[in-house]
Amino acid sequence: MIFERFYTACLAQASYGIADSESGVAVIVDPRRDVEIYLEWAEAAGVRIEHVVLTHFHADFLAGHLELRARTGATIHLGAQAQTEYEVEPLADDAFLKLGPEVKLQALETPGHTPEGICLLVFEGASETPHAVLTGDTLFLGDVGRPDLMGSVGFTAERLAGLLYDSLRAKILPLPDETLVYPGHGAGSSCGKSLSTAAFTTLGEQRETNYALADMSREDFVQKVTEGQGTPPRYFAHDARLNKANRPTLDESLAKALVPLSVEDLVRHKNQGAQVLDGRDPDVYAAFHLRGSVNVGLGGKYASWCGAVLDAEVAIVLIVEPGREREAALRLGRIGFDRVVGYLEGGAESLRGQPDLTATIERIEADELQRRLASDTPPRLLDVRSPSEHAAGAIEGSQQVCLSQLQARLAEVSPDETWVVHCQGGYRSSVAASILEAAGVTISDLRGGYLGWVALTGQPA
């Protein structure tokens, strides 16, 4: 058996390549949309990608099943409950997908995170004991997939949580302790609450440490897995829908996105309602940028935060450092944001000498914030971290509004007051500062965020 884990840190997402070296047949499980990484792996391993499996309709990224089919002719598989616009070969409960004499996969229907979800047992050689289980978003290391993402299509969180309880106990817990568990996401994903940073572990270890596998009633389980879930990023519904659809491939979308635009073209698109996305680092953006643009730096969780603060149905124009245009458009494509209409040729430097179009945002250090808070006219403090981060420690007097909810709650940030915005380290606050500047709020951004404040003061407040 040839087994490879591919991890996309920006999305905290794992995909897997499995092949039978004797037959040369390979399968890719839950691929991302830019599929060159799998093609290169297959070529290096001397195998052919003949199958693609999605463990469920993903909400947090757009999967690369159609891209792999276009490039390799691979057959697409989903669970038997999945309904798609494209042709699939369904994997019913307990059905086998044989790659060759040495490797086979077995599907387990595990509804709960989504109704059509499956897990995949991996068998090697003649052994009847599974070597591993690919759990998709059914079981994470330290958590389970959140059951509250399907309310818009007729499933309540409570109903799916009950199905998840049954799936874990009927299909996963009976597996041997030594079975290796490979989940679809790691720490940082919005698909669960408390995911581990580990790549894999044994089922036996999860029995000991994962709260969701402990002995408890269905009612207690439903309560535990539904409480404390944050608001899903607004692009999740968009991606779940596109993962069922027969939509354009990434190559087709990028061909329309990588169009150089003049300043005049940029202004025209903006005046027609396009979103201007600036992907430069926060310090660079703060020093000089197009007024009204949104800053989501390519150096952070770019795709996820773009999905949280931008509208997938509205045109996007890119401003990035020259040479990074394809990267910026491609990473948007990973979450199905395909309405990029071009990029500013020459980057932000093309805006020099046009003060009517540009602006700056002040970034201050923790010691300057401390001085201002002690003055006769202290600024208001806006904390754009999550509620759990704020509850764990906050600057005294700060007002908490999660970044993903900021645009819907702008009325809570009065433009008649002066504000300093912060997050944990300074990345999210730059996104927030750009949104607030566009809304007419007088804003400064705390460089280094809450961690910088604690480092200076030695205490939360």
Taking the C-alpha atoms of residue 311 and residue 235, their distance in angstroms, rounded to an integer, is 8
The pLDDT of residue 187: 65
Query: What total of structural domains would you count in the chain?
Result: 3
Reading the block at residue 287, the tokens are 């020093």
Q: Which of 217, 239, 261 is the last residue of a domain?
A: 239
* Tens-digit pLDDT string for the chain (461 aa): 999 999 998 888 999 999 999 999 999 999 999 999 999 999 999 999 999 999 999 999 999 999 999 999 999 999 999 999 999 999 999 999 999 999 999 999 999 999 999 999 999 999 999 999 999 999 999 899 989 876 546 688 999 999 999 999 999 999 999 999 999 988 655 544 555 678 899 999 999 999 999 999 999 999 999 887 777 788 999 999 999 999 999 999 999 999 999 999 999 999 999 999 999 999 999 999 999 999 999 999 999 999 999 999 999 999 999 999 999 999 999 999 999 999 999 999 999 999 999 999 999 999 999 999 999 999 999 999 999 899 999 999 999 999 999 999 999 999 999 999 999 999 999 999 999 999 999 999 999 999 999 999 987 65
Do 8 and 97 reside in the same domain of the chain?
yes
Do 368 and 346 reside in the same domain of the chain?
no
The pLDDT of residue 155: 82
Do 158 and 83 reside in the same domain of the chain?
yes
Do 233 and 372 reside in the same domain of the chain?
no
Buried b (16+ CB within 10 A) or exposed e, 287-307: eebbbebbbbbbebbbbbbbb
The pLDDT of residue 195: 59
Q: Which of 239, 271, 291 is the last residue of a domain?
A: 239
Reading the block at residue 343, the tokens are 């990029």
Do 324 and 270 reside in the same domain of the chain?
yes
345 forms beta bridges with none
Do 315 and 384 reside in the same domain of the chain?
no
Reading the block at residue 364, the tokens are 């201050």
CATH number of the structural domain spanning residue 405:
3.40.250.10
The single-letter code of the amino acid at 122 is V
Do 19 and 77 reside in the same domain of the chain?
yes
CATH number of the structural domain spanning residue 167:
3.60.15.10
Do the Cβ atoms of 91 and 78 come closer than 8 Å?
A: yes
Do 6 and 135 reside in the same domain of the chain?
yes
Do 321 and 402 reside in the same domain of the chain?
no
**What secondary structure, in 3-state letters, does 340-357 show?**
EEEEECCHHHHHCCCCCC
Q: Which of 326, 359, 392 is the last residue of a domain?
A: 359
Do 212 and 253 reside in the same domain of the chain?
no
The single-letter code of the amino acid at 289 is H
Whole-model pTM: value is: 0.92
The pLDDT of residue 38: 98
Do 354 and 381 reside in the same domain of the chain?
no
Range of the domain at 95: 2-239
Do 116 and 233 reside in the same domain of the chain?
yes
